[in-house]
Structure 1
């Protein structure tokens, strides 16, 4: 007995099975207290065409085939999902978190992307496949993060607003990156022109920026007067799918157009009404998307992706729990808040699956690209990664205070002292403040934005252009150093560090902080330069920078921390030690 359990091509049967199995998977996931999306994925794997096993002479080969109809419905779910993500991207809300959310989002995304590049290079994957691999690894789950924050009653915590702003900004950066990568992957007989690609993406984003800034604010009142709920839902669906169609006309994924259309309405009064009226429709189609994604996972390929998972999971934990949490502490958050931010970023879910789906489909559709890499392994890798990380996230978030206490009790005093110096300096520069003496930082912010754009361009260029940009990179590093020194001067002068406030201490602190911050930016440039020539050497460089940071913290602790202690000890020694005259007087009295 073989073949499919039920031989049918009925659309009604496909939808009925998908809905029923999705209900069962969601129910089991709820009872097991794991994200419902995991239940959808596992249920999809069990009914899809890639599962095969034999038991007591009976063979099971799945129930449903990967039909074009189901893929089309899942695409609708993906478009609606990204529209809702865009509705959460409020520029007004994001402005309240300002530089802190931007620094955390860009750094977390960049480090996780680098981890994905390391895994892809180690596996020998082509560049395009590696980019999609890096995208899967770097996409934190906004849905699981928000749900866990509600369950743990942390929505009122001071760091939560920054965390949510950071996750939303990461989603925007992910859409921007996906737009660029899609432009690189479109079949063409001519090589990709990076300048034209950036220009086309900028034009596309500019169109939606015009809608958000000019058109929608002047016409929102008209949409608000739509009283008939049926008409309003039709209007909302029309705008979403027309935006998705416009994106496809630009050879950009449809989900990107839906995301930007959500951003257009995010700060209007009808955004809440759109969420309420379209939420049920979104949930139904999104469930079908995750179920069909599970159907694409080949259980036989799971053994092949285990080595990838064995590397990816520790790297994600290292970045989110250590590097991102450390950065959050450096820019002004407390130890517990920093650890809470780090643990909240561990989950991987819908965004990672989005990247895997778009990447696998695009690579399979391009005859110039091989299907032996991401086309085969990206989907099962993303599925299992989401199951593992989404299961770990609530556990780690619930124990974030214990993790913070563990690190605080085991870090050497020199590292704690050095980290505190960096924190008190950067807090005045990056965290929101209203003191006029700390407003000399716009030049520093502009230099960071320009340097980030330079690094991106340096990363994607090759040949002589890459060599020329590499030779010019030290000039830009020097510019960042000069602007950083200008921005740090006043905070160092007016901040209480708990040490001697003399010129020597201030100069030592300023030099130390500049070495840490500008050194990190210089290392990023060096990695971008050397990656194309021999990528393993970049890991050695990063480890060397880590050793320099540890050594610098020990030196500054010896000069300022222990130095103050020794001076205090000598003062006390002079005070309590009797002088020669008093000793002779005491001797005479004894006589």
Structure 2
């Protein structure tokens, strides 16, 4: 009875604290993710007030949080949208991977962490935070801008890449042989391809089967199906998160919209628990030794994300203003970086990887909304200053005067 009371007190305090932190983040107009991570650091081992009785339940809640995060992402996209994005935007996805995954892998190798940790840290620096970026786009009123589809296409390609990347990471962290890892990857690709095929051809049939006018029945069926598929996927050594993502893709239309509305509060609750859980397993005293590498990596990968967005927007014919906005918006890292690092922390491959990932995400989840807002004006001001310096140089007498053409800002909101 006493342990039950302690559990209720501890878990109730966690939920209440998360709610208050969320309200504080809302007033400050930035993502609550860094506050959740700091809360986990405060209540974990080496923190101000270590928890005990509720830690096991928090671990289960954290796993459900990851599953719901990926499910909700899958609900955002239809299978036809994913296929279309693969066909038209894959060059941007390849540039995104090359520019942003390589710095993480290089740092891990420079620190002597080995190839497995290099692959993990590459994923941490590669994947942008869809949740933070979607909120920033809404807050800045840019959902209708012409560069926004470019941003969303890159995020979709990253989400698709997760379906391949997570099984690879799972196999590497489990220490399986090359043959077993190849089988795991083949199973993951086969299941993903099969689900996409079924979703394209029979998505309406699946949605009708799941559909219900009663919100309670719809919630139970979708949540139960997601947890069942996630468990089966994990049993096959694929990834519970990938299984949940594929369930989301398979659902479409009114069912996807209804499920999204019903599951959004649950996702927010368990996702917050997940970030706290990650912080619980990171000793605050382990962060100062890795803060300098984390800051350096944050600066480098912020610049590479800006370059990625700029290149992708230019390829799509967006004006310079829209290119800078696209690049600055993509900087934020968050939930997926923590998900990937969390797998490595659980496997225990490198003690410093978790603290470095925590510090890295804390920096970029705060910096991301700032770069989204200020990259364009800063870049244009520097460009104007450079142009003014060039105009100050006397033109050659033999050279003809060049015509000044003002670029048209075609990144204005669509009507």
TM-score, normalised via structure 2 length? 0.86
In structure 2, the CA distance between the partners of 1:305 and 1:243, relative to structure 1 (3 Å rule), is: same
Q: Does 1:28 align with 2:24?
A: yes
Secondary structure of the corresponding residue to residue 162 of structure 1: helix
Per-residue Cα deviation, 1:496-519 (whole angstroms, up to 9, x for no partner):
xxxxxxxxxxxxxxxxxxxxxxxx
User: 1:203 and 1:32, CA in 2 relative to 1: closer, same or farther beyond 3 A?
Assistant: same
Distance 1:79 1:307, change over 3 A: same
Corresponding pairs, count: 392
3-state DSSP of counterpart to 1:62: coil
| 1:97/1:162 contact within 8 Å kept | no
Q: 3-state SS of the aligned residue for 1:269?
A: helix
Residue in structure 1 matched with residue 406 of structure 2 by the alignment: none
Residue equivalent to 2:122: 134
How far apart, in 2, do the equivalents of 1:17 and 1:198 lie? 41
* Alignment correspondent of 1:514: none
Of 253, 263, 270, the residue aligned with 1:285 is: 270
Alignment of 1:426-445 (within 5 A): none
SS of the equivalent of 2:340 reads helix
The 1-side partners of 2:188 and 2:8 are apart by 40
- Measure how far apart 1:256 and its partner are: 1.1
> Corresponding residue for 2:239?
253
Give per-residue Cα distances to partners, 1:282-304, cap 9 Å, x unaligned. 22212211121221221101112
Tell me the equivalent position of 2:57: 69
- Say whether the 8 Å CA contact 1:66–1:295 is kept in structure 2: no
**In 2, Cα distance between the equivalents of 1:395 and 1:264?**
35
For the pair 1:377 / 2:341, whether they are aligned, the reply is: no
Deviations 1:463-501 (A, max 9, x none): xxxxxxxxxxxxxxxxxxxxxxxxxxxxxxxxxxxxxxx
* Structure-to-structure mapping, 1:520-531, within 5 angstroms: none
Does the C-alpha gap of structure 1 residues 404 and 20 become closer, same or farther in structure 2, counting only changes over 3 Å? same
Q: How does 1:556-571 map to 2 (within 5 A)?
A: none
CA distance, structure 1, for counterparts of residue 42 and residue 334 of structure 2:
19
TM-superposed CA distance for 1:220, in Å, is: 2.5
Contact 2:173/2:344 (<8 A) preserved: no
Q: Name the structure, 1 or 2, with higher relative contact order (CA <8 Å, separation 6+).
A: 2
How far does residue 108 in structure 1 lie from its aligned partner after superposition?
1.2
Q: Which residue of 2 aligns with 1:123?
A: 111
Question: Is contact 2:187–2:238 with CA below 8 Å preserved after alignment?
Answer: no
Q: Distance in 1 between matches of 2:276 and 2:182?
A: 39
Three-state SS of the structure 2 residue aligned to 1:409 is helix
Contact 1:141–1:347 at 8 Å: present in 2 too? Answer: yes
- Alpha-carbon distance in 2 for matches of 1:345, 1:132: 20
Aligned residues of 1:180 and 1:201 also touching (Cα < 8 A): no
Rounded to whole Å, the distance in 2 between the matches of 1:400 and 1:80 is 32
Paired residue for 1:552?
A: none
Among candidates 4, 24, 35, match of residue 39 of structure 1: 35
User: How far apart are the structure 2 equivalents of 1:99 and 1:236?
Assistant: 30
> Once the two structures are superposed, what CA deviation does each residue of 1:153-209 show, in whole Å capped at 9, x if it has no partner?
111111112211221221221231111221233244x44466534422222213322
Change (3 A) 1:32 1:331: closer
Match of 2:45 among 17, 40, 49: 49
Q: Given the superposition, is the C-alpha separation of residues 9 and 123 from structure 1 closer, same or farther in structure 2, using an over 3 Å criterion?
A: farther
Query: What SS does the aligned partner of 2:254 have?
Result: coil
Residues 98, 358 of structure 1: alpha-carbon distance in 2 compared, 3 angstrom cutoff: closer
Match of 1:16 among 5, 8, 12: 12
**1:332 deviation in Å?**
2.5
1:200 matched residue in structure 2 = 187
The Cα of 1:128 is off from its aligned counterpart by 0.9
Match of 1:346 in 2: 331
> Partner of 2:92 in structure 1?
104
Contact 2:10 2:51 (8 Å CA) reproduced: no
RMSD: 2.7
In structure 2, the CA distance between the partners of 1:303 and 1:407, relative to structure 1 (3 Å rule), is same
Of 362, 365, 373, the match for 1:398: 373
* C-alpha displacement of 1:335: 0.8
The answer on whether the counterparts of 2:121 and 2:341 sit within 8 Å (CA) in structure 1 is yes
- Distance (Å, rounded) in 2 between the aligned partners of 1:305 and 1:65: 30
Instruction: From 205, 209, 217, give the equivalent of 2:204.
Output: 217
Deviation (angstroms), 1:317: 2.1
Residue 310 (str. 1) matches residue 295 (str. 2): yes
Work out which of the residue numbers 286, 297, 307 in structure 2 matches 1:322: 307
Query: Cα offset for 1:66?
Result: 7.4
CA distance in 2, matches of 1:321, 1:175: 24
Cα 1:134–1:9, aligned 2, differ >3 Å: closer, same or farther? farther
Q: Is residue 148 of structure 1 aligned with residue 133 of structure 2?
A: no
Work out the CA distance in 2 between the residues paired with 1:400 and 1:212: 39
Q: Aligned with 2:324: secondary structure?
A: helix
Residue 211 (structure 2) pairs with residue 236 (structure 1): no
Q: Which has the larger radius of gyration?
A: 1
- Separation of aligned partners in 2, 1:215 and 1:326: 36
TM-score norm. by structure 1 comes to 0.62
The Cα shift of 1:398 comes to 1.4
Deviations 1:115-153 (A, max 9, x none): 111101110111111111111111111111111111111
Which ranges in structure 2 are unaligned for 5 or more consecutive residues?
389-395, 402-415
Q: 1:20 to 1:219 in 2, by over 3 A?
A: closer
Q: Report what 1:520 is aligned to.
A: none
The answer (yes or no) to whether the contact 2:44–2:50 under 8 Å persists in 1 is yes
- 3-state DSSP class of the match of 1:338? helix
Q: Using a 3 Å threshold, how does the CA distance of structure 1 residues 193 and 251 change in structure 2: closer, same or farther?
A: closer
Matched, 1:167 2:155: yes
The separation in 2 between residues aligned to 1:223 and 1:335, in whole angstroms, is 45
Q: 1:185 to 1:62 in 2, by over 3 A?
A: closer
